[in-house]
Amino acid sequence: FFSHQPFSFTLSIQFLDSSFCSCFSLTYPSRLGHGVLGATTAAPLVAAAVLFWFAFKFVSGRIRFGVTGKHHRAAATAPNTSDGVVPRSRSPTAATEIRPIARAIAKQDTKRADEIMAKLSAGPRLHWLLGHEGVVYTAVFLPAGRRLVSSSGDKTLRIWDVETGETVIGPLKGHTDSVSRVAVHGSRIASCSYDGTFRIWDADSGKLDLGPISAHTGLQVNWIAYSRDGTRIATAGDDNRAAIWDANTGVRLHVMIGHTQEVWCVAFSEDGTRLVSASQDKTVRIWDVASGEFIGEPLTGHTDLVRAVCFSPDGQRIFSASDDRTIRIWDAETRALIVEPLRMSNWVCMALSPDGKRLVSGSKTGRIAMWDTETGAGIPTPLMDHKGWVRSVAFSPDGRKIASASIDKTITLWDATGDWKRWDIGDEFREWLYSRMTMTYCT
């Protein structure tokens, strides 16, 4: 153990019958030869202490679990393959590796088993998508959920295969400045840019269908959104205005005047009759899409610029995320807050799940969080992978995946099912529970 040369040892833990842990053995190779240490115990407390000691070690990244084979110390940065795909993550705290232990604990204490899964297991990263040469501003799933489109500070868009992580179309070039946002309807992709224009692309061929169309007096276009039926497009710009356009011709239909500073974001209601906008002026406003007129009074309460806004699927609530480190949930009719503001540090982007029951948010620290939209309670989801500001988050159409885009030039795909923190699923793990688990310790 005191050699300066690398060494490893293997710990096998055998679960027998209904006892928590009945025996364990330790085998290690060294330059002095091979030795075997065997010990048995029937004391559940001793066994629990051993298991939790090793749990502490693998949380710190020193011990890795595996069903077969050996693992080696991971590189400090993710490996990049020739096609831009990083292999699926094998986190030392992957749920599949903790689940057998949690299931055994659940025989005595299900609440503690739930806590272990929520706190110690990391949500599995499905893919890292690499290829952009600049900040990735946004990533949005295409309707079938099998592909994803992204936009970047490198002035391009890319279309990715969600299962393989490969770029399948692109980079799509044309914008002369950062592509700040994309929106999707059917096989059409709308992109807006700091170059003061927006464009419409064909998602199947990557060809430009419409544009470039100058908007917001040539100033930065910060956001773009499609109406549910795909007939209208809304944009937000640095001219302190929002605008509505015919999605097929690019003709401007309405200009919304009311905000006193830059408009950062816009979103249509599900039925397409209303538009909500949010601004540097710290307010949220609701507009009538048919007339372009302002409806009622602005929603006030944020103490800093509002970066993201959206309607709930039923149109009865409005969600807004601000640099004041809060996300607020408003009643769309009364303008009153439904729950206390969701307070955390540096939240800058958000997205609703398709059913409207969950909200995911991203922060400047690289962390991603999830919330229950009915109660405002946080949902334990320890997703923290980006090395910088998360600029965009999005759910897949079926709500089973999350895509996060960051200034670290990457897109990360996550499992959003919540199954990773359950101990009571997967028959394959019942066999594993009563078989041998292998740990390899590398120095």
Q: Where are the domains of the chain?
A: 103-123+424-442, 125-420
Q: Convert the pLDDT of each residue in 148-171 to its tens digit.
A: 999 999 999 999 999 888 999 989
H or E element in which residue 111 lies = helix 110-120
Q: Convert the pLDDT of each residue in 166-188 to its tens digit.
A: 999 989 999 999 999 999 999 99
Residue 274 identity (one-letter amino acid): R
Residue (of 370, 362, 286) closest to 331 by Cα position: 286
Q: Convert the pLDDT of each residue in 67-105 to its tens digit.
A: 322 222 222 233 333 233 333 333 434 556 667 777 788
What CA dihedral angle connects 402, 380, 137 and 225, to 10 degrees? 60
What CA–CA distance (Å, rounded) separates 286 from 381? 32
* Whether the predicted pLDDT of 296 surpasses 50: yes
Q: Distance of CA 260 to CAs 176, 256, 324, Å?
A: 27, 11, 18
More confident call, 381 vs 367: 367
- What pLDDT is attached to residue 114? 72
Chain mean position to CA 109: 31
- What pLDDT is attached to residue 92? 37
What is the model's pTM? 0.70
- What pLDDT is attached to residue 287? 98
Q: Convert the pLDDT of each residue in 342-363 to its tens digit.
A: 887 776 789 999 999 999 998 8
In sequence order, the 6+-apart residues with CB closer than 8 A to the CB of 347 are 321, 322, 325, 326, 327, 361, 362, 363, 369
What CA–CA distance (Å, rounded) separates 204 from 200? 12
Bridge partners, residue 147, by sequence: 161
What CA–CA distance (Å, rounded) separates 64 from 89? 13
Q: Fold for domain 125-420?
A: Methylamine Dehydrogenase; Chain H (2.130.10)
Chain mean position to CA 336: 29
**Contact by Cβ (8 Å): 162, 202:** no
